[in-house]
Structure 1
Amino acid sequence: MDSVSVLILPEQREDVSQSEAGTAKAEAGFRIVLIGKTGAGKSAAGNIILRERIFRSALSSSTVTLECQKETREFEGQALAVVDTPGLFDTELAPREVVSELTRCISFAAPGPHAFLVVIRPGRFTKEEQETVKIIQKVFGESAAQYTLVLFTHGDDLEEEGVTAENLISENKALREFINKCGDRYHVFNNREKKDATQVRELLKKINTMVQLNGSTYYTNEKFIEVEKAIQEKVEKILRKHPHFTPREARIKAERKNRFIKSALAVIGSGGAAAALGVGIEVAAIGAVGAVGGPVGLVVGLAVASIAVALRREACKIQ
């Protein structure tokens, strides 16, 4: 079967010096962010995509991803960077931890993701999950929905029951409407066939088609642009201090620790926290029609506002 064509984006061809030629190949691929509820199978999906058991996963929700994790591997000559995130609806994390992980997720995905994969386990589509697109838009921006694709895990369970994904969607109005918000884009993973490259290949084709429909570019906005600036500044500092580092090694360190993340966390302990709390209450109000209310709404709102305040602070410094 033919392999997926490697999509090299116009912005990825520019400004590649000879010293960075070794990292250019790694940039000619997709950045993918996994989002979903605990127990949906995000980590397992990440392992299938990267063809390696690298993200910690479990069949039960007793094992929870509490930190964002980014891993990069090659698939048929194409670099894939996958960002695994904590469950969107977990309330185990304190507000500061949520801010830390969301900002880290944005930093890991900079200069912007090619796809947000909303991971759902068939038969467990909840009211909380119905609000996932709203949360993605609240955190990453309104246009992020154009880069969103639903990934069903445990398709093998459906096969055992003689049910197809099409059956599942047609018989569930809420799920059908949710898929529609994601541009009617979805894919199914068979978790028992982890070594089957075909399902990964087909997923990448769908992501490639989605990216091309979006102008052959990844998703970005002012937020990601500012974060990328912060990362590039940190990379330069690291390379000056540690000349033996490769640009890629410096990038990995810079994504985990830069002025954007530091500034966002500082908001929690400053006057900005009050403004953040106000936005948190605003987001909680959305819960009147869905699951973004209560503690989840407050925490997500606090995180979003903290990030916004941090970006304003950094923008003022630059000016």
Structure 2
Amino acid sequence: MEETGGSTCQGQSPPLSPGSSLNMVLLGEREAGKSAVGNAILGTMAFDQVGVRTRMSVCREGLVGGRRLVVVDTPGWEWFNLGGASASPAALRKEIVRSMRLCHHGVHTLLLVVPLSFSFSKRERHVAEEHVELFGPRAWNYTLVLFTIKDSKQLRVCSVQVEVEGNGELQKLVERCGGRYHALHGQTSRRRDQVTSLLAKIQEMISANGGSVLLSEEVLQLAREREEKQERMEDQEKRKREENVQRVREAFKKESEERMRGGEKQGDTEKSRGQRGRVEMETDGQSPPLSPGSSLNMVLLGEREAGKSAVGNAILGTMAFDQVGVRTRMSVCREGLVGGRRLVVVDTPGWEWFNLGGASASPAALRKEIVRSMRLCHHGVHTLLLVVPLSFSFSKRERHVAEEHVELFGPRAWNYTLVLFTIKDSKQLRVCSVQDEVEGNGELQKLVERCGGRYHALHGQTSRRRDQVTSLLAKIQEMISANGGSVLLSEEVLQLAREREEKQERMEGQERRKREEENTMKALKKEKRGKGDEV
């Protein structure tokens, strides 16, 4: 079918009141099967064929069982923003919300389409919840999870419930929807019965809501308020960034003037430079502890292959850590004398965006190992260096993952965190355009703001590396001064980690007992029904 040029309803009839029509909006990820669901509900090829991407909200109408149905299909969201011709995440969210303009007065139900064959994780649940909540806090009262099952051989009808109960994240999503869910199978012969059952469940939900609708004007007003708030925040962040940049420039200017005045001490400087290439002590935590007053303690955090080991080598001025490309599996500590001060640098394992299984550590084990890095620092750390490749297409998802890992170190961790961008190709950016690159990516801006506007960049250009490291150490010293010389205490972080683990164990125990009780109740009910049939 021909795609519409905008968010318009192609039904030729005049607007219908909610009393004479059943209005529904389809939500879900790309390729979840929303268009196919719309076709199944209306009993005709009303929407584009499967595989054709929905780029704008589209409305179709039809008469089913004597009642007029208004079905709005919306663009599916991507788990990653890959750029290109596709809509940006912000534009995509706006287009999804605009679907409300195609429904007279409001909608009776939001159908959240989820492929049951999809390995549904905590991250996918969070993304789905974020999109439902674009419609406001009342949206959950009108939402029903609609599972699509392409292969009818995959599950028997009676085992859909078992599949849902076997996945904790699916259970939580269904619970947000008041326990409402339904499934559409790929078996065409049974499709009409499945649709009839779906409409019955929707009618039951409408009755529970007293016949009310999720008002279009209410949702659109909330969207306008979010946009205005976002604009105000962006303006404030921009002013704050400009102020931070100006402070850093002034600090650099002051530092340059002091270096010029200290030119007569060039001989001593050359001697200290010669010492930079020598690691005076390498340890996995076995050596006598050093006091924070005599050492600068730092921990490197970042995704796998972000360049953390290379950053550690650059800071210490020698190949202290494994060569690039060798995966760091455990937290490792190296020390060296740089510029007359002892530096303690701890490299940590990088996180994966997905848990691919195999020989790699599980996400839980990986997080524990990252937090254990604090045991390698006497008393605490002065800074967490969050290493991010500037060449990486940084999205909202990557920002959330980075924030989650920083917050493993507790709520005070952001006061000690600095974003360190790595740039492998020195031709990629001029030094002065690093700021432009950061300001051009809203997610990078938000991450830098969480760190109080602190960021630095290390280029691949070896000839300039030492100057870049000197500037980095100056920024770290400025942060230490702002923190009153305090450190992020090791015992504080490790205690928080212990409390998280204990809480998680309690929650898992409660969930396990709840599932056991539910299974026992189901078995008793089944046994009771069996005895009733025998009578």
TM interval, shorter chain, is 0.5 to 0.7
Q: CA separation in 2, counterparts of 1:199 and 1:68? A: 25
Q: CA separation in 1, counterparts of 2:202 and 2:172? A: 20
Task: Report whether the alignment pairs 1:174 with 2:169.
Answer: yes
Q: Deviations over 1:137-167 (max 9, x none)?
A: 5311111001110111126435557872111
Q: CA separation in 2, counterparts of 1:142 and 1:272? A: 17
Q: Name the aligned partner's letter for residue 142 of structure 2.
A: Y
Answer whether contact 2:18 2:104 (CA < 8 A) is retained: no
How much does 1:80 deviate? 0.7
Instruction: Please give the residue correspondences for 1:1-319 in structure 2 after superposition, counting only pairs within 5 Å.
Output: 28-58=20-50, 63-89=52-78, 91=81, 92-94=86-88, 97-98=91-92, 100-124=94-118, 125-132=120-127, 134-154=129-149, 156-157=151-152, 159=154, 164-193=159-188, 196-220=191-215, 223-224=218-219, 274-275=231-232, 277=234
Count of residues in correspondence between the two structures: 228
Higher relative contact order (CA 8 A, sep 6+): 1
Please tell me whether Structure 1 or Structure 2 has the larger radius of gyration of its CA atoms: 2
Answer whether contact 1:137 1:144 (CA < 8 A) is retained: yes
How much does 1:277 deviate? 4.9
Runs of 5+ consecutive residues of structure 1 not aligned to the other structure: 1-20, 228-259, 290-296, 302-319
How much does 1:115 deviate? 0.6
Question: Cα–Cα, structure 1 residues 134 and 121, in superposed 2: closer, same or farther, change >3 Å?
Answer: closer
Q: CA separation in 2, counterparts of 1:121 and 1:127? A: 15
Answer whether contact 1:130 1:175 (CA < 8 A) is retained: yes
How much does 1:77 deviate? 1.1
Q: CA separation in 1, counterparts of 2:121 and 2:108? A: 26
Question: Cα–Cα, structure 1 residues 219 and 277, in superposed 2: closer, same or farther, change >3 Å?
Answer: same
Q: CA separation in 2, counterparts of 1:138 and 1:220? A: 14
How much does 1:104 deviate? 2.5
Q: CA separation in 2, counterparts of 1:155 and 1:201? A: 19
Q: Secondary structure at the match of 1:131?
A: helix
Answer whether contact 1:133 1:181 (CA < 8 A) is retained: no
Question: Cα–Cα, structure 1 residues 158 and 135, in superposed 2: closer, same or farther, change >3 Å?
Answer: farther
What's the TM-score, normalizing by structure 1? 0.60
Answer whether contact 1:151 1:186 (CA < 8 A) is retained: yes
Question: Cα–Cα, structure 1 residues 55 and 128, in superposed 2: closer, same or farther, change >3 Å?
Answer: farther
Answer whether contact 1:36 1:118 (CA < 8 A) is retained: yes
How much does 1:79 deviate? 0.8
Q: CA separation in 1, counterparts of 2:129 and 2:199? A: 24
Runs of 5+ consecutive residues of structure 2 not aligned to the other structure: 1-12, 237-395, 405-441, 447-535
Question: Cα–Cα, structure 1 residues 189 and 88, in superposed 2: closer, same or farther, change >3 Å?
Answer: same
Q: Name the aligned partner's letter for residue 48 of structure 2.
A: R
Structure (1 or 2) with the greater helix fraction: 1
Q: Secondary structure at the match of 1:157?
A: coil
Answer whether contact 2:28 2:128 (CA < 8 A) is retained: no
Q: Percent identity?
A: 27
Q: CA separation in 2, counterparts of 1:200 and 1:212? A: 18
Question: Cα–Cα, structure 1 residues 106 and 134, in superposed 2: closer, same or farther, change >3 Å?
Answer: same
Q: Name the aligned partner's letter for residue 86 of structure 1.
A: P
Q: Deviations over 1:220-270 (max 9, x none)?
A: 27524869xxxxxxxxxxxxxxxxxxxxxxxxxxxxxxxx9xxx7xx99xx
Q: Name the aligned partner's letter for residue 73 of structure 2.
A: D
How much does 1:68 deviate? 0.8
What's the TM-score, normalizing by structure 2? 0.37
Question: Cα–Cα, structure 1 residues 82 and 278, in superposed 2: closer, same or farther, change >3 Å?
Answer: farther
Answer whether contact 1:152 1:188 (CA < 8 A) is retained: yes
Answer whether contact 1:85 1:105 (CA < 8 A) is retained: yes
Question: Cα–Cα, structure 1 residues 25 and 146, in superposed 2: closer, same or farther, change >3 Å?
Answer: closer
How much does 1:171 deviate? 1.1
How much does 1:121 deviate? 0.7
How much does 1:204 deviate? 0.7
How much does 1:181 deviate? 1.1
Q: CA separation in 1, counterparts of 2:115 and 2:183? A: 10
Question: Cα–Cα, structure 1 residues 214 and 273, in superposed 2: closer, same or farther, change >3 Å?
Answer: closer
